[in-house]
Amino acid sequence: MSTVAVVGTQWGDEGKGKAIDYIATRADMVVRAQGGNNAGHSVVIDGKKYALHLIPSGILNAKTINIIGNGVVFDPEGFFNELKDLEDDGINTKNLFISDRAHIVFDYHKIIDSLGEKSKGSKKVGTTNKGIGPCYMDKMERTGIRMCDVLDDDLFEAKLSAQIDRKNDMITKLYGGEPLDKTALMKKYTDYAKRLKPYVKDTSVMVYEAVKAGRKVLFEGAQGTMLDIDLGTYPYVTSSHPVSGGFTTGSGVSPRDINEIIGIVKAYTTRVGEGPFVTEEDNETGDKIREIGHEYGVTTGRPRRCGWLDLVVVRYAARVNGLTGISLMLLDVLDQFETINVCVGYEYNGEVLTDFPASLKIQEESRPVYKTLRGWNTPITGCRSYEDLPEEAKAYIKEIEEFSGVPVKIISVGPDREQTMIRGELF
Ligand code: GDP
Ligand code: IMO
Ligand code: MG
């Protein structure tokens, strides 16, 4: 298979960064197609940790071409900070291109993000405050500013000037906030625009040509299926399409050109921000998972909410993404449990649901139906092949495969690149 898409199956932070970096060691090109620097992907290579937000995880492989596709919302400030951190670590950042159709995140998006959250009070989404939703709002409203605009100084200045006036109106009149200093903002972003010019390309053509030439192309998902604006736990979602379909509109490739779709499944479930979470363990079990799994956000540092693996969610993700394989992550975090629960249904109003419901109310009022499996209760971080795993861990994997109908092709037992096992051929 020459093209592989990697998607999060839960609420993000499933370990996509690690899995992508592992697969990317064989890839010629890595493509991001949605979200922005709300993502936080950690990759550990030989004990050194890298945190990637906007830049594709393929950047850690010197020869891989990295594409930020048209569906991404691009924050220049975040980008240049991330670039500097990578360069300080001696990473070659030359092979990096940004779509001329990607929309740009400005300071006013971030400010409106926090003002909007504040105004929602207890109904806040718990966003990352990176301006993601407000930037996608401009895109949908058809007033956004795109990367191709930075190539024309006069056009860029005219568009930005008009947009700052509109946003200042919104900030002051709707939210009663302080207006932004227009002169300072114009200067800040016209400087960024100059620095961005060399990166701007028609990346859809680049991806197409790579696919046509049979190169190995890896599509890197951010966030996760349950955060999808259409298919997730709306309104507690992000504003893009983290499902496999998002790669086509977000990078300009045909669905026919995506061969393999790998779903990243964390061996348990976590969520940051607000919203329903049927298998949440807001108790000692959740605390134990959080401490062993170091479940604190890469982007915001927030403690993640933790709970058991929800197979209703995984099976839903298998269906809506068309998964051809699963990469099971952080299995080692369950090393210290006598028994392990997996959720195989939702009890609601005396009925058991096995398809993820649309209604927020039903999600909130559903109780998990658990199947209890025996834990392996022994460290597996040193295992390097499936055969090395304890029988109980193999039974856990089998349960996931049977319920979701998808084979587990990659198993991860620690954060390092080395702590990975692969079953069969992947890429
Ligand atoms: P992403 O957003 O999906 O890329 O995931 P994050 O990077 O936000 O969170 C996953 C965390 O788990 C990171 O700190 C990884 O270094 C770590 N990690 C990934 N795979 C494993 C694993 O198999 N075992 C353990 N213990 N940690 C892992
Ligand atoms: P990665 O790629 C986990 C969550 C936020 C919030 C909701 C909306 O690291 O898996 P946004 O700022 O996007 O408008 O916030 O989505 N969220 C994530 N949660 N991992 C992520 O990315 C996330 N990106 C956004 O916490 O609940
Ligand atoms: Mg993350």
Q: Of the bound ligands, which one is closest to the alpha carbon of residue 19? A: 1
Nearest C-alpha to atom 10 of ligand 1 is from which residue?
A: 15
119 CA to centre of ligand 3 in angstroms: 26
Relative to the alpha carbon of 109, which ligand is closest? Answer: 2
Whether ligand 2 lies within 6 angstroms of the CB of 4 is answered as no
State in Å: Cα 232 to ligand 3 middle.
17
In ligand 2, the atom with minimum distance to the C-alpha of 221 is 2
| Two tokens, residue 198 | 């060399």
CA of 39 to the centre of ligand 2 (A): 6
Whose CA is closest to atom 3 on ligand 2? 12
Task: Return the number of other C-beta atoms located less than 10 Å from residue 191's C-beta.
Answer: 11
- Burial tier of 49 (Cβ tally within 10 Å: 0-12, 13-18, 19+): exposed
**How far apart are alpha carbons 306 and 175 in whole angstroms?**
34
Mutate which of 41, 111, 269, 272 for ligand 2 pocket (most atoms within 8 A of beta carbon) = 272
Ranges of H-type helices in 180-325? 182-196, 203-212, 246-251, 284-293, 311-321
Residues 345 and 355: beta-carbon distance below 8 Å: no
Instruction: Return the residue whose CA atom lies nearest to atom 5 of ligand 2.
Output: 127
Residue of minimum CA distance from atom 19 in ligand 2: 12
Q: How far apart are CA 12 and CA 262, in angstroms?
A: 14
Å from CA of 406 to ligand 2 middle:
25
Query: Burial code of 286-307, b = ≥16 C-beta within 10 A, e = fewer?
Result: beebbebbebebbbeeeebbbb
pLDDT of the chain, 427 residues: tens digit per residue: 599 999 999 999 999 999 998 999 889 999 999 999 999 999 999 899 999 999 999 999 999 999 999 999 999 999 999 999 999 999 999 999 999 999 999 999 999 999 999 999 999 999 999 999 999 999 999 999 999 999 999 999 999 999 999 999 999 999 999 999 999 999 999 999 999 999 999 999 999 999 999 999 999 999 999 999 999 999 999 999 999 999 999 999 999 999 999 999 999 999 999 999 999 999 999 999 999 999 998 888 899 999 999 999 999 999 999 999 999 999 999 999 999 999 999 999 999 999 999 999 999 999 999 999 999 999 999 999 999 999 999 999 999 999 999 999 999 999 998 999 999 877 6
